[in-house]
A and B are shown apart, each in its own frame.
Chain A
């Protein structure tokens, strides 16, 4: 337990401050789509959403892709990833798209950013909108109970680890990624329950960023949590259009109407 007078732990990262254009009226957030070739309905819903959203900006907060084995998947113009990037880039011509890495797609790199037309978001990122300050994160870095994962994460976000991993032939990396999935169902999702975000660490992050609302994904447990008076944590839903019932939800932050959760497709307005 740190001494009460000790300075903030080095594990509280400095948030990147994102300037928000004054003309933005509406920002929307999605995460945890786990896009993959074997789930075309989820991919279609995502593209439909990006094409038709009335938001000025869409923030994709991690695990957009089920897995990303390296930017060299984009070398093949017909690959699933290349086609997704092509569609994003077309949409990015008239709509601001922002991308934050998650624990599944943390190997996305500069080629992805360029080919997708997305603006890169650090984890965490802070911004101010309509007089309130928000902090955005994928959420995995705050699941402190999972010490094994935190050790891996610290290592896997270093250039040394990533260079070593990416040096493996692409087929070797593909084989490892395939090992994640059930052999009989190429796209079956894993039966996983995620640990909860650490409450004190979430508060520390918010306080360091001078923000009152943390928006994140990762746990696939959408809910609003009051962390302390005036401080809250809002969790995004994952997307799965093959589930019964299907799941696809957008968090909207509107200058006049505040925060709302909306299913996709949305009913009118």
Chain B
């Protein structure tokens, strides 16, 4: 397969996807979960009376006015109500429970989470730090691991190219979550940050496999073959394993997505998209970029 020959096409696809994702994130923004912005997330069931969302919403508005604005969602597959409201004290929580129980006796609380805004601000700051550190340290490690490769391009360029493909791999799932957030109310929470970090740690695996082969082929070849050909050969020689290593993770993720706990659904989805993008970037983005850079500096 002549990947290097069509590198403009492949790089354009990646570039357009990344640009589109950044645009969507910019336009829609993220829906922040209560871990980041503070507030209360309340999950309960009313199995007997089984009232409609409107009924419950109306009831909360009329009978517990002081609690302020509430947003209610109903999860059909699990017959649970998800209510979002401002940060509440334990007294208010107790009052809410009592009032609802009087109206709907079969009310059963599944979970109640109330977070003050200060924790959220701190968590958000740390999340951003974690992502930046991960990008920097992984790229630095790649530069270090390839330190003995200096010809035809220096090792730190491997690191920079890794950084670019890491950004590609996390920006695209982030863009998807921004869209889902806008249309379905999907929120970003600490699990989302974890997913992005795991994507970075994992998708670089495939990139390393290709780079490793380029490193090996360069040392065997001793500069006889053109750099582009060496890269293209290396990609083709390692393509099956690049795909297979990610495929096993994708298999596990699919099982988690369809059978796993509901709370991890979007965590798994983010990972699925990110890991798939990681396969694309390791074959069609990272190595072609090496050549593009090489050609640019040669001129």
**Chain A partners chain B:** no
